[in-house]
Structure formats: structure tokens, C-alpha cells
């Protein structure tokens, strides 16, 4: 199984049928699937049809009460939340709920787009400290390997890393810099041959 978390972001005009076809094709080859708002808005009941690991990419950033209210309505093995909302009456409550539901919690400590440098990246180390209190894993970018390596130095558990392909980072580059899983969306899901894509890039990665 390749250390890839497939990001199921449907192109315009496509939805769950498109996503479930990809799941059928790829589920035995990849670690799991990341589902975000575009698909959830089109029918959260379809999450039941994904017979693989599901990471809910909700980028939660709210008071604890509301974050709990959102995830208690969804099925998934893990959920992504923002770190900047802080611990007290926010992430502490989300943590309680994820633990109760046997879900993992991943915190965003840096993002793959350039704007991450404007605010978020000024606080990476503080976010990692917070992750020690609440998280099972963190999200850190493949597009800035210096940041990813810094996160690896301070964070011993799971790192999942977006930015491969469409955002410019080459496949395997984040794994080599210390990530545990690469998040791959468009480059893989919109390829004419997704299985071939995986095999050509990930068969000789490590
Ligand atoms: P592509 O098509 O660019 O899709 O491979 C990437 C997917 O990952 C999401 N994304 C992020 N998620 N932190 C996150 O938690 C990030 O820094 C980040 N950057 C991209 C993006 O929304 C898409 O679903």
C-alpha cells in the first residue's frame, strides 16, 4: 500500500459517483481518502459507501460547542482542524468528542499555499506544542520542505502533507522530508490513469 491519502475533490459538475469510482479503483493501493466540504455538501450519507479510511478535511475553526456539533453528525476515521482557535473551550472540547468517537484529530500547523507565510507560519512551533495536547497528527506542507523538516524535528507522530502535484511539489518529496503520508488530489484523481500514476511515482519512493 502506498503512503498516499487521496484527496477526493470533485471537478465542476462531478460528485459522489465520480468519487466512489475512484475509491473502487484505488482503495487497495492507498492508505485512505480525504473528503472535504464539496462532497459532504452533496450528501454526507455517501460517506458510508467509502470502504476505506476516511479523513474529514473540515478545517474546523470554531468554538468547541460548534466543532463538536459538526463532527457528531459525520462518519470518519479522522478530522482536520485548525490550530489557531486555541485549546480552551475550543480544541479541548473537540478532542473530547474525537476521543469519544474513536476518531483521530489532525491539526493544521502550516499550509501549502503562499498565504500561509502571512500569519500561520509565524506560529508553527506554538501550534506543534498545542498538537502535543490534543492531536494524533499534524498537517504540514510539501510545498515548503524547510517548514516540513522543522515540523518533523519537533513532532514525533503522524505528519500528513498536501501540495503534491497540482501545487508544485514532486511526488515522494514530502515523504523524503519526513512526512508519513502525502495528500494527493488533482494530479492523481484527474489523471487518465490514476493507478498508473501511483505506480509510476510511488513504487520506488523510499
Ligand atoms: P491538490 O489537488 O492540490 O489537493 O493535490 C490538495 C487537497 O488538500 C487540501 N489542502 C490542504 N489541507 N492543509 C490542509 O489541511 C493544507 O495546507 C492544505 N493545502 C491543501 C486542499 O483543500 C485539497 O483538498
pLDDT digits 0-9 by tens, 60-98: 999 999 999 999 999 999 999 999 999 999 999 999 999
How far is residue 197's CA from residue 32's CA, in Å, rounded to a whole number? 16
| Cβ neighbours around 89 below 10 Å, total | 11
Question: Distance, CA 58 to ligand 1 centroid (Å)?
Answer: 11
Question: Distance, CA 118 to ligand 1 centroid (Å)?
Answer: 18
pLDDT value of residue 205: 84
pLDDT value of residue 165: 96
CATH no. for residue 110? 3.20.20.70
Question: Distance, CA 114 to ligand 1 centroid (Å)?
Answer: 12
Q: Which atom of ligand 1 is nearest to the CA of 57?
A: 15
In-domain check, residue 50? yes
pLDDT in tens, 10-51: 999 999 999 999 999 999 999 999 999 999 999 999 999 999
Give the end-to-end CA distance of the chain in Å, rounded to a whole number: 13
CB distance 176 to 152 below 8 Å: no
Q: Residue for cell digits 462531478?
A: 14
pLDDT in tens, 135-169: 999 999 999 999 999 999 999 999 999 999 999 99
In-domain check, residue 153? yes
In-domain check, residue 102? yes
Determine the residue of 162, 167, 170 to mutate for testing ligand 1's pocket, defined as the one with the most ligand atoms within 8 A of the Cβ atom.
162
DSSP letter at 179? -
In-domain check, residue 206? no
Residue 204 has pLDDT above 90, yes or no: no
In-domain check, residue 131? yes
For all residues of the chain together, what is the average pLDDT?
Answer: 97
Q: Which residues contact 24 (CB under 8 A, 6 or more apart)?
A: none
pLDDT value of residue 3: 97
How far is residue 31's CA from residue 45's CA, in Å, rounded to a whole number? 22
Q: Which atom of ligand 1 is nearest to the CA of 80?
A: 15
Instruction: Collapse the DSSP code of 199 into the 3-class scheme (helix H, G, I; strand E, B; otherwise coil) and give the result.
Output: helix
In-domain check, residue 100? yes
pLDDT in tens, 24-33: 999 999 999 9
Residue 206 has pLDDT above 90, yes or no: no
pLDDT value of residue 90: 98
CB distance 84 to 127 below 8 Å: yes
In-domain check, residue 15? yes
Could you list the active site residues? Answer: 59
pLDDT value of residue 72: 96
When divided into structural domains, the chain yields a total of: 1
In-domain check, residue 189? yes
Domain with 102, as residue range(s), is 2-201
How far is residue 183's CA from residue 42's CA, in Å, rounded to a whole number? 22
Amino acid at each position: 500500500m502506498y503512503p498516499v491519502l487521496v484527496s477526493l475533490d470533485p471537478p465542476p459538475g462531478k460528485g459522489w459517483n465520480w468519487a466512489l469510482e475512484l475509491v473502487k479503483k484505488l482503495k487497495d493501493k492507498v492508505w485512505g481518502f480525504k473528503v472535504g466540504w464539496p462532497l459532504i455538501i452533496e450528501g454526507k450519507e455517501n460517506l458510508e459507501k467509502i470502504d476505506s479510511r476516511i479523513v474529514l478535511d473540515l478545517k474546523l475553526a470554531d468554538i468547541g460547542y460548534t466543532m463538536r456539533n459538526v463532527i457528531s453528525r459525520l462518519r470518519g476515521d479522522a478530522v482536520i482542524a485548525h490550530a489557531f482557535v486555541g485549546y480552551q473551550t475550543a480544541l479541548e472540547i473537540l478532542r473530547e468528542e474525537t476521543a469519544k468517537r474513536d476518531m483521530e484529530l489532525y491539526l493544521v500547523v502550516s499550509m501549502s499555499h503562499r498565504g500561509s507565510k502571512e500569519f500561520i507560519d509565524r506560529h508553527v512551533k506554538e501550534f506543534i506544542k498545542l498538537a502535543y495536547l490534543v492531536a494524533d497528527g499534524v498537517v504540514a506542507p510539501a510545498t515548503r520542505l524547510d517548514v516540513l523538516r522543522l515540523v518533523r524535528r519537533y513532532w514525533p507522530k503522524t505528519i500528513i502533507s498536501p501540495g503534491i502535484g497540482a501545487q508544485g511539489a514532486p511526488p515522494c518529496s514530502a515523504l523524503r522530508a519526513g512526512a508519513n503520508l502525502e495528500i494527493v488530489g488533482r494530479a492523481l484523481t484527474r489523471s487518465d490513469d490514476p493507478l498508473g500514476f501511483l505506480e509510476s511515482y510511488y513504487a520506488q519512493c523510499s
